[in-house]
Amino acid sequence: MKIIQVLKNEFRDSLFLLKMSNDISNWEGVKQAVVVMATQNNCKILEQVGLMEGDAVEAAADDLIIAIEVEPHVKEAEILERLKGRLNKDDNKKSWESTTYTLEAALEKKPESNMVVISTPGKYAADMARESLEAGKHVFCFSQHVSVADEIELKKLAISKNLLMMGPDCGTSIIDGYGLGFANKVRKGCIGLISASGSGLQEVTTLIHKSGGGIAQAIGVGGRDLSSPMDGMMAEAAISLLIKDPQVKVLVILAKKASAIAQKRILQIVEKSKLPLVADFGLAEELVDNKKKGVVIVNNYEECAREAIKLAGLKWNIGTTHKEFIKWLGETNISNKKAKVVRGLYAGGSLCGEAVSIFQRSNLNLASNLSGPLESYLESEHVFLDLGAEEYTEGRAHPFIDYRIRVLELNKAFANQNVAVVVMDVVIGWGSNEDPASELVKGIRIARQKYGHGPILIASVVGTEDDFQQIEKQKTKLREADVFIAESNAMAVTYALEIINQRRGEM
C-alpha cells in the first residue's frame, strides 16, 4: 500500500526532510519513505522508486511531498496520525536563545566576528554576501545557483575591501584550523592551498596529513573562479594573503578547470613571492608553457600532495595498494567477465573531474555531466556522474550527506550487464554523513540481492584518522561488503582502467 500526501507551499529544509525520511523508513511496517520538496529532480527520484502517484503528480516545486510504501497490514490512519506528530516536531521551528534572523542582528550580537558563512537558496545568497562584504566581513558562500554576473561583482567588491569572497559554490576551506563547509581534521603545517575545487581540496589536504605534512591555510574560492570570465581574480587575491603568512613555505593551487589567463595570473604572482608552487589546473583546455623555477605542474591530486610534501622537505609516507589489488581481484567474485564499461558515481565533482581526466588521457570515449546536465547515455559507454552537480542538488541535501541518489545510480549499474567496474568516492569529515560507509553498504546489499554479485566495486575514502567518522571503521565496513579501497581517487580510477584495458585486450 502507498500513502501519498502533498502539503501546498510548505517549505522544509533538505536536511530536516532527509532526517524525517530516514526516521519514517525505520517505523514498523514501512517499506520505504521519501519526504521531499517537489522539485523536478526529487520527482524523478519518486518515479524511480515507484512513489510518483496520486496528488504528487500535480505538485509544484514549493510543495512538500510525503510518499510512503507500507506493508498490507499497516493502517493508513495510524501512519497519518504519526506523520502529523512528526511534522509538528519540526526541528527547524525550535526556538533557540542564540538564534538571530538578520545579518544586522547577528553582527550586533557578535561584533568581533570577521567572517560570514552563507548557505541559503541561491536566489538569496548574492544579496546576503553583498551585505556582508559591505559590513567589512570575509564571506564563505556554500550556496549554488548564483549568477556569474553576481559572482564577478561580489569578488570585485571583496578585492576592493581586501576581503575574501570564498564562493559561491565553495565546498571547502580550512581557516586557522577550522573547517568550513565540508572539510577534514588535519594537522597544522607549512603548506598553504588555494582551491577552486572542494573535494579536490579535501583529497589533497588529507593525503598531505596522512603523509605527515600539515596545512597552514586552505582557501576555497568557488568552482568557477579559475575559469573564464573570473580568470582567477579571487585566487590571485588569496595567494597575496598567503604570501604574507609567515607559516606558509609551500603554495598549492587546485582547479577543476583553469583558463590560460588564470594560469598566467597565478604564475606571475607566485614568481614574485619566490615560494615554491605545485599546481593542478584540472581539465584545462591548454596548459600555459611553464619555465618558471620552483613551479611544478601536476595532473592528479595524489601527485599534487606528493610534490607538496617533497617541497616541504618531508618524505612521502603513503604506500601503494597495487599488489593487494591484484591479489584481491584474483579472489573476488566476478559475475560477468565480459562486461567492459565503467561507472563513476561521485559525490565530489572535483574527484569526478580527475577521473574523467585520467580516462581521457587513455583515449577512451566517455559521457559525463561535468559540462552540463546529461539527459541520456548509452549503456555501452563509460559514464562518470558528478552527483553533487546543481541538477541533482536542487531542493535536496548534498550527496556527501544524502546517499539516496547514489544508491539509485548504483542500482542502475548493477542492472546493466555491460558494467564491469563501479568507482566511487566516500568523503568523511565535518559536514558529511555520520556513517557514509553504512549508507553505501546498505545500497550494495540491496542491489546484490536483486541482481547478484554485480560489478567490481572500487572506492577511495577521503578523510583522516581524526575525523569523527573514523576512517578505518569506514574502510572496514566497505571491505566487508567486498569493496576494494584504493589509497587515492587517482589510484582507484587507475585500477578500474587496468581492468578495462585488460578486457579490451582480450576482445
- Cβ neighbours for 480, distance < 8 A, ≥ 6 positions apart: 441
Collect contacts of 43-49 with beta carbons under 8 A, ≥24 apart: 45/404, 45/405, 45/408, 48/408, 49/408
SS (H, E, C) 56-109: HHHCCCCCEEEEEEECCCCCHHHHHHHHHHHHHCCHHHCCCCCCCCCHHHHHHH
Beta strands in 178-234 (DSSP E): 178-181, 188-196, 215-220
**What pairing do the DSSP bridges indicate for beta strands 215-220 and 165-166?**
unpaired
455 preceded by a cis bond (ω within 30 of 0) = no
Per-residue pLDDT of the chain (507 residues; tens, 9 = 90+): 899 999 998 887 777 888 888 888 889 999 889 998 898 878 888 888 889 999 999 999 889 999 999 998 988 888 888 888 887 765 444 444 567 778 888 888 888 999 999 988 788 999 999 999 999 999 999 998 899 999 999 999 999 999 999 999 999 999 999 999 999 999 999 999 999 999 999 999 999 999 999 999 999 999 999 999 999 999 999 999 999 999 999 999 999 889 999 999 999 999 888 899 999 998 766 777 666 778 999 999 999 999 999 999 999 999 989 999 999 999 988 877 889 999 999 999 999 999 999 998 898 989 999 988 888 888 889 999 999 987 887 777 889 999 989 999 999 999 999 999 999 999 999 999 999 999 999 999 999 999 999 999 999 999 999 999 999 999 999 999 999 999 999 999 999 999 999 987 764
Strands 178-181 and 419-427 turn out to be unpaired
| Residues 504, 272: Cα–Cα separation, whole Å | 49
In angstroms, how far is CA 463 from the centroid of its own chain?
Answer: 13
If phi > 0 it is left, if psi is from -120 to 50 it is alpha, else beta; for residue 57 that is alpha
Strand order across the 2-7 sheet = 2-7, 64-70, 30-37
Q: Is the dihedral of CA 286, 291, 293, 298 positive or negative?
A: positive
Query: For helices 148-160 and 122-134, what crossing angle results, to 10°?
Result: 10
Q: Which phi and psi angles does 365 have, rounded to 5°?
A: -75, 140
Report the C-alpha gap between 237 and 81 in whole angstroms: 56
